[in-house]
Amino acid sequence: MTASVTRAVIRGVGHYLPERVVENDWFTTFLDTSDEWIKSRSGIERRHFAAEGQTTSDLATRAAEGALADAGMQPDDIDTIILATSTPDLTFPATATIVQERLGMTRGFAFDVQAVCAGFVYALSNANALILSGQARRVLVIGAETFSRIMNWEDRTTCVLFGDGAGAVILEATEGTGTASDRGILATDLHSDGRHRDILKVSGGVSASQSTGHLMMAGKEVFRHAVEKLARSTIDVLDRAGVTVGDVDCVIPHQANIRIISRTAQKLDLPMEKVVVTVQDHGNTSAASIPLAMSVAKASGQVSEGDLVVTEAIGGGLAWGAVALRW
Ligand code: UT7
Helix 258-268 × helix 219-241 angle, to 10°: 40
In this structure, the strands spanning 109-113 and 138-146 are unpaired
Which of 176, 201, 223 is the endpoint of a domain? 176
Buried b (16+ CB within 10 A) or exposed e, 236-245: bbbeebebeb
Residues 114 and 236 in one domain: no
Residues 164 and 80 in one domain: yes
CA distances 205 to 145, 173, 316, Å, are 17, 37, 14
Residues 56 and 78 in one domain: yes
Which of 176, 209, 225 is the endpoint of a domain? 176
From 157, 215, 263, the mutation candidate for ligand 1 (largest count of ligand atoms within 8 A of CB) is: 157
Compute the C-alpha angle 16/275/326, nearest 5°.
Answer: 80
Asked whether 215 and 202 are in contact (CB, 8 A), the reply is: yes
Q: What pLDDT does 308 receive? A: 98
Catalytic hit among 117, 126, 159, 250: 117
108 exposure class (CB count in 10 Å sphere: 0-12, 13-18, 19+)? middle
The rounded Cα 318 to chain-centroid distance in angstroms is: 15
Residues 72 and 205 in one domain: no
284 catalytic residue (yes or no): yes
3-state secondary structure at position 224? helix
pLDDT greater than 70 at residue 220: yes
Q: What pLDDT does 3 receive? A: 73
Bridge partners for 201 per DSSP: 216
Q: What pLDDT does 36 receive? A: 98
Residue 255 one-letter amino acid: Q
Q: Which atom of ligand 1 is nearest to the CA of 256?
A: 1
Residues 11 and 94 in one domain: yes
Residues 267 and 317 in one domain: yes
Give yes or no for residue 196 CB within 6 A of ligand 1.
Answer: no
Residues 211 and 98 in one domain: no
Q: What is the mean pLDDT of the chain?
A: 97
From 33, 41, 278, 320, the mutation candidate for ligand 1 (largest count of ligand atoms within 8 A of CB) is: 41
Which of 146, 176, 206 is the endpoint of a domain? 176
d(CA 79, CA 110): 9
For residue 83, the CA-to-ligand 1 centroid distance in Å is: 30
Domain of 149, CATH number, reads: 3.40.47.10
* Average pLDDT of the segment spanning 241-246: 97
Per residue in 164-213, pLDDT (tens digit) is 999 999 999 999 999 999 999 999 999 999 999 999 999 999 999 999 99
**Does 119 or 1 have the greater pLDDT score?**
119
In 3D space, the residue among 86, 84, 95, 88 whose CA is nearest the CA of residue 121 turns out to be 84
Residues 96 and 240 in one domain: no
Residues 102 and 190 in one domain: no
Give yes or no for residue 318 CB within 6 A of ligand 1.
Answer: no
Q: Which atom of ligand 1 is nearest to the CA of 116?
A: 2
pLDDT greater than 60 at residue 250: yes
Name the residue at shortest CA distance from atom 20 of ligand 1: 41
Residues 166 and 190 in one domain: no
Give yes or no for residue 284 CB within 6 A of ligand 1.
Answer: yes
> pTM value?
0.97
Percent above pLDDT 70 for the chain? 99
The dihedral over CA atoms of 59, 82, 187, 225, expressed in degrees to the nearest 10, equals 60
pLDDT greater than 60 at residue 1: no
- Total number of domains constituting the chain: 2
Per residue in 15-55, pLDDT (tens digit) is 999 999 999 999 999 999 999 999 999 999 999 999 999 99
Residues 132 and 211 in one domain: no
For residue 217, the CA-to-ligand 1 centroid distance in Å is: 10
Per residue in 253-270, pLDDT (tens digit) is 999 999 999 999 999 999
Residues 239 and 306 in one domain: yes
For residue 112, the CA-to-ligand 1 centroid distance in Å is: 31
48 catalytic residue (yes or no): no
Give yes or no for residue 285 CB within 6 A of ligand 1.
Answer: no
Compute the C-alpha angle 59/308/68, nearest 5°.
Answer: 30
Q: What is the extent of the structural domain holding 96? A: 5-176
Confidence bin at 2 (pLDDT 50/70/90): low
* Average pLDDT of the segment spanning 79-100: 98
